[in-house]
Amino acid sequence: MKIIFLTSQQAAEQATYLVSWLRNRGHIVSVTKDRITPEGLVSFDIGISFGYRYIFKKIHIDALKGKLINVHTGFLPYGRGAMPNVWAIIDRVPAGVSIHFVDEGIDTGPIIAQFEIPVLATDTGATLYRRLRNEAFHLFMKVWPVIEGSTRIPGGAQPPGEFITHKSGDVGLVDDLDNYFGPLARRVIDVLRARTFPDHEAAYIHDEDGRKVFVRVELQYEEETPTPP
């Protein structure tokens, strides 16, 4: 099978391993991190998007005769769009990974397989991201034998309903805590920084089992832009 593997610098480590794994199974795999044209797709049997940063249009899908799948670190239909690891924590929606067909929407295509993972009380955006990437990696290897051995890849439609699709710039709306929460944000941060002290208990919340989860913060000024000479 001739495969076009579409990825990004951020997903490079897992992508490299998966590409090697596919080649070891006898497939011819070409890799790109750049914006692809429909003409650049027509010679391939299937396209795999893994952390790819560009939006596909109908002409891209048609060029691959519908055989364009996406490995997404969101538990669809939740977590559509950018940074599903961030929004799973903020919006308190299910987290997980999904392998789905690409259609003309953003992460709205039929689901081939998916796996839900819990969001831990101690998770940060970084720790959840790493776990989602690892689960996406394992789910892909589990499902791929079904995909490569089928002339018609099985997939099921996503549940209907209104689900938030986040753009990459949406996270900026919550980063400004003063603007997002108002005066309460400063009071909470003051408590957390006052109780952040090495080797001592800190402020805490409780998880679903009632266990204390201690919260410590790290604060730093933004780097000043050097003044031109």
Query: Residue 14 has what pLDDT?
Result: 79
Name the stretches of the chain with pLDDT < 50: none
Which domains, ranges and CATH numbers included, belong to the chain?
A: 2-165 (3.40.50.170), 176-215 (no CATH)
Neighbouring residues of 122: CB distance < 8 A, sequence distance ≥ 6 = 213
pLDDT of residue 149: 79
Q: How far is CA 16 from the centre of its chain?
A: 17
Q: What local confidence, expressed as pLDDT, does residue 225 receive?
A: 74
Q: How much is the pLDDT for 206?
A: 95
Residue 174 sits at the vertex; the CA angle it makes with 173 and 177, to the nearest 5 degrees, is 115
- Residues 87-141 have pLDDT tens digits of 999 999 999 999 999 999 999 999 999 999 999 999 999 999 999 999 998 999 9
Q: Are 54 and 35 in contact (CB under 8 A)?
A: yes
62, 20 in Cβ contact below 8 A?
A: no
Phi and psi angles of residue 156, each rounded to the nearest 5 degrees, phi first: -120, 145
| Contact present, 77 and 111 (Cβ < 8 Å) | no
Cβ pair 113, 99 in contact under 8 A: yes
The C-alpha angle with vertex 44 and arms to 101 and 167, in degrees rounded to 5, equals 40
| CA–CA distances in Å: residue 152 to residues 6, 92, 156 | 21, 35, 12
Claim: this prediction has a pTM higher than 0.85: yes
